[in-house]
Chain A
Amino acid sequence: MLNFTPAAGAGSGAGGGSGAGGGNRARAVPGRTIRVRVKRCEGPGKASRWEVFAVKAEAGSNVISVLQQIASNPVTVEGERTTPVVWDSGCLEEVCGACTMVINGRVRQSCSCLIDEYAPGEGDEITLEPMSKFPVVRDLWVDRSRLFHNLSRVKAWVPIDGTYNLGPGPRETPAQQETRYALSECMSCGCCLEACPQFTLEEDPKAWGTSFIGAHAISQARLFNEHATGRALKGERLEALMGPGGVSDCGNAQNCVKVCPKHIPLTESIAAIGRAVTIHAVARWFRG
Chain B
Amino acid sequence: MSFMDRHYFLLRRLHSLTGIVPIGVFLIAHLVTNSSLLWGKAGLRGEGEKYSFGADGVTLGEGGVAYFQKEVTWINEQVPHLLLIEITLWAAIAFHAVLGVYYARTGRSNTDRYAYQDNRRYAWQRISGYVGILFIFYHVATLRWGWSWLVPGGAVWSHDAATSTLAMALRGSESGWTGAGLVVSAFYFAGVSLLVFHFANGLWTAAVTWGLTVSARAQRRWGGVCLGLGVGLMAMAWSALFAAVTIDPREARAVEASLEQGRVVSPGE
Report yes or no: A2 in contact with B112, Cβ–Cβ below 8 A: yes
Q: State how many angstroms separate the Cβ of A241 from the closest Cβ of chain B.
A: 9
Identify which of A244, A253, A272, A274 contacts B119 (C-beta below 8 A). Answer: A253
How distant is B243 from chain A, measured CB to nearest CB, in Å? 35
**Contact A249 to B114, CB < 8 A, known contacts A244-B8, A270-B208, A271-B219:** no
B209 touches A272 (CB 8 A): no
- The reply to whether the CB of A228 lies closer than 8 angstroms to some CB of chain B is no
Bound state CA distance, A145 and B262, in angstroms?
Answer: 76
Cα-based distance from A270 to B208 in the complex (angstroms)? 8
Within the complex, which residue of A249, A254, A268, A271 is in contact with B118, where a contact is CB–CB below 8 Å? A254
Q: Which residues of A contact B121 (CB under 8 A)?
A: 253
Is B12 an interface residue, CB under 8 A from the partner? yes
Chain A's closest residue to B216 (CB) is A268
Which B residue's beta carbon lies closest to that of A210?
A: B5
Distance between Cα atoms of A2 and B208 in the complex (Å): 31
> For chain B, what secondary structure do more than half of its interface residues adopt (helix, strand, loop), or is it mixed?
helix
- Cβ A252 vs Cβ B118 within 8 A: yes
Are B215 and A274 in touch, CB under 8 angstroms?
A: no
**Neighbouring A residues of B210 by C-beta, 8 Å:** 274-275, 278
Stretch at the interface among B32-40, B49-57, B101-109, B131-139: B101-109
Measured CB to CB, the closest approach of chain A to B214, in angstroms, equals: 4
Does any Cβ of B come within 8 Å of A212's Cβ?
Answer: yes
- A268→B125 CA distance, assembly (Å): 21
Contacts A275-B210, A275-B211, A277-B9 given; indicate if A195 touches B122 (C-beta within 8 A): no
CA of A76 to CA of B113, assembled, Å? 27
* Bound: A166/B35 CA distance, A: 68
Number of A-B residue pairs, CB cutoff 8 Å, is: 103
Bitwise interface map of B from 122 to 156 toward A, beta carbon under 8 Å scored 1, else 0:
11010000000000000000000000000000000
| Interface assignment of A281: CB less than 8 Å from any CB of chain B | yes
Q: CB distance A195 to B214 under 8 Å?
A: no
**Does A198 contact B211, Cβ atoms closer than 8 Å?**
no
User: Is A229 close to B, CB under 8 A?
Assistant: no
Decide if A271 touches B9 in the complex (CB within 8 Å).
no
Q: How far is the CA of A1 from the CA of B110 in the complex (A)?
A: 13
Q: Which of A195, A252, A273, A274 has a CB less than 8 Å from the CB of B114?
A: A195
Decide yes or no: A243 and B211 within 8 Å by CB, A195-B114, A197-B109, A258-B116 being known contacts.
Answer: no
Within 8 A of A (CB), among B1-28: 4-5, 8-10, 12-13
Chain A interface residue bracket vs B? 35 or more
**Does B205 reach chain A (CB closer than 8 Å)?**
yes
> Separation in Å of the B132 CB from the closest CB of chain A?
17
Name the A residues within 8 Å of B112 (CB-CB): 1-2
Residue from A197, A244, A255 within 8 A of B108 (CB atoms): A197
Instruction: Select which of B4, B114, B208, B213 is within 8 A of A106 by beta carbon.
Output: B114
Task: Report how far A271 CA is from B219 CA in the complex, Å.
Answer: 9
Residues of chain B contacted by A1 (CB below 8 angstroms): 112
Q: Residue B212 at the A interface, CB < 8 A?
A: yes
Q: Do A258 and B214 have beta carbons less than 8 Å apart?
A: no
**Is the pair B110, A197 in contact by a Cβ cutoff of 8 Å?**
yes
* Contact yes or no, B108 A271, CB < 8 A: no
Chain A neighbourhood of B103, CB < 8 A: 249
CB-nearest residue of chain A to B120: A253
Residues from chain A with a CB closer than 8 A to the CB of B211 are 271-279
Judging by beta carbons under 8 Å apart, are B8 and A243 in contact?
A: yes
Kindly list chain B residues whose C-beta atoms are within 8 Å of the C-beta of A268: 214-216
Cβ of A188 within 8 Å of any chain B Cβ, yes or no, is no
11 inter-chain pairs at a CB distance below 8 angstroms, sorted by A residue, are A1-B112, A243-B8, A246-B9, A248-B12, A249-B106, A251-B122, A252-B209, A253-B122, A255-B114, A259-B114, A279-B211
Which 3 residue pairs of A and B lie closest in terms of their CB atoms, listed nearest first? A275-B211, A253-B122, A274-B211
